Structure 1
């Protein structure tokens, strides 16, 4: 373990931390700066790091266009629905893997986790004809269902790691009292597993919110577009490069995720670390 008591160790740790923070934070700083720059400052040979004449015109144009609220609403519906469905399905699957012993349990769990090995573009090749056969192409429901592929395997594994740490005596006591398995799950296991459930829900929400490939492929109607495709199709293209408006819209589109993470950060961290600690 690194000994931070010496001055050289603290200096080395500080320099390393500052380097990593600068590398990760510079794109965010550049996005903020570009969002507040007028067009004359963006398209120059040597752009400045900070805007010389800050303006809110990019934000006024984005908010006043009428399209961004529609895209945000579509993203909230699809990402929120995907987070809810993923959390419910992952809870049921993880409970089955953690509490029951049946033939093929380990193989089934390994098969589910192995889905993470394939690129999402490969999974889209299989999803597209399935949604087409079901009549769910170019619909919010179809896009929401496709997002389950992103987070369900990882969400199931995270909740499995959480559920196996719960005291078996608590479950057996409920069974002795005559409680059914579903009642045990929803009245005993779920209330004490809030950090794990929040982690899975936020993980699924962020995956769906940041998606571009599936939304671009499965949705073609402009009024059903989510934030990613909407910004790409409206602000950036072969004949238009409005980087100021694109950066301003990206900042506005990032607010729901930032707010959600800020509200549930404590449970999110607990849920992530729970599977790594033996109870």
Structure 2
């Protein structure tokens, strides 16, 4: 191996190490912060390894009724938005794939173009609509708002999967007397399980991680989700409970980590399969 190759390989490893530190240090620091008292956190110089570990913040989090409400609300909203996104994207994706009606391409492009705009641009319109119908401070408002965010990508992905399924299968089933609904539920949907799983994971992660909708569409502390609720609970005008906030953040992040660990390969398989078939 020549000197240039060794130098290039060394540079790549150094760059990889720096990148890993940049990504992993915030995770390490929030865990370290959650395991210390607030008094220890404000010592100077800060401690990185020789720590006075305590689980008081975690015990306080699990005893906090407000935190448990935030957790419950987030589970309800994430589950509802995932189910609704899946339901709509299956039928919309199938319609865009199989039925070529006037303006279908323009409509699909319009759906996808909404991904280019920040979520905050939807807030004024959504707030006005939900306020008119009395939906503020309700699960339904949060579920619909998060579904709106997840739908464009979900519809596009399902369309790609349906495009990859041969129409001859449907034609053969029609000859055998199967209805359109039976073909969809008995033949087509079982063949798109990777895409369905990928969409479910995507919609769940988007909904669980939501901050702006939970902050804007709810004013009652009991209806807050984790992201918005924790910001109101642990950070006041003149005081900050960094240890408690870090412990709550670690507990709130665990479902995302577990979902990603156990379903990562299925999501990647679903995304790549849909991309290849399309």
- CA offset at residue 154 of structure 1? 0.8
Tell me, in whole angstroms, the C-alpha distance in 1 between the residues paired with 2:106 and 2:8.
47
SS in 1 for 2:236: coil
2: CA distance, partners of 1:278 / 1:133: 43
Check the 8 A contact 2:69/2:222 in 1, yes or no: yes
Does the aligned pair in 2 maintain the 1:37–1:51 contact within 8 Å? no
d(CA) in 2 for partners of 1:184, 1:229 = 43
SS at 1:79's partner residue? helix
Counterpart position of 2:209: 210
CA contact under 8 A between 2:78 and 2:143: conserved in structure 1? yes
Residue of structure 2 in register with 1:142 after alignment: 141
Q: Is the 8 A contact 2:163 2:277 kept in 1?
A: no
Cross-structure match for 1:92: 91
- Taking structure 1 as reference, are residues 51 and 100 closer, same or farther at Cα in structure 2, changes over 3 Å only? farther
Q: Distance in 1 between matches of 2:157 and 2:246?
A: 34
Quote the residue 2:166 is aligned against. Answer: 167
Query: Residues of 2 paired with 1:203 and 1:161: CA distance?
Result: 16
Instruction: Report the Cα distance in structure 1 between the residues aligned to 2:98 and 2:168, rounded to whole angstroms.
Output: 12
**Over aligned residue pairs, what C-alpha RMSD do you find?**
1.6
Match of 1:184 in 2: 183
Q: Give the deviation of 1:17 after TM superposition.
A: 2.3
Residue equivalent to 1:231? 230
Return the alpha-carbon distance in structure 2 between the equivalents of residues 197 and 12 of structure 1.
41
TM-score (norm 1): 0.93
CA change 1:18–1:185 in 2 (3 A) is farther
CA contact (8 A) 1:198 1:268 kept: yes
Query: 2:131, 2:237 → 1: CA distance?
Result: 30
Alignment correspondent of 2:111: 112
Matches of 1:73 and 1:95, distance apart in 2? 33
Length-normalised TM-score, structure 2: 0.93
- Uncovered stretches (5+) of structure 1, i.e. residues with no partner: 1-5
Aligned to 1:17: 16
**1:118-137, aligned counterparts within 5 Å?**
118-137=117-136
Aligned to 2:44, the other structure's residue is in SS state: coil
- Alignment correspondent of 2:34: 35
Number of paired residues? 274
Structure 2: runs of 5+ lacking an equivalent: none
Please show how residues 47-126 of structure 1 align to structure 2 within 5 Å: 47-50=46-49, 52-126=51-125
Within 2, Cα distance between the matches of 1:76 and 1:89?
20
For 1:177 and 1:10, how far apart are their aligned partners in 2? 61
In 2: Cα distance, 1:264 partner to 1:179 partner: 34
CA distance in 2, matches of 1:88, 1:7: 53
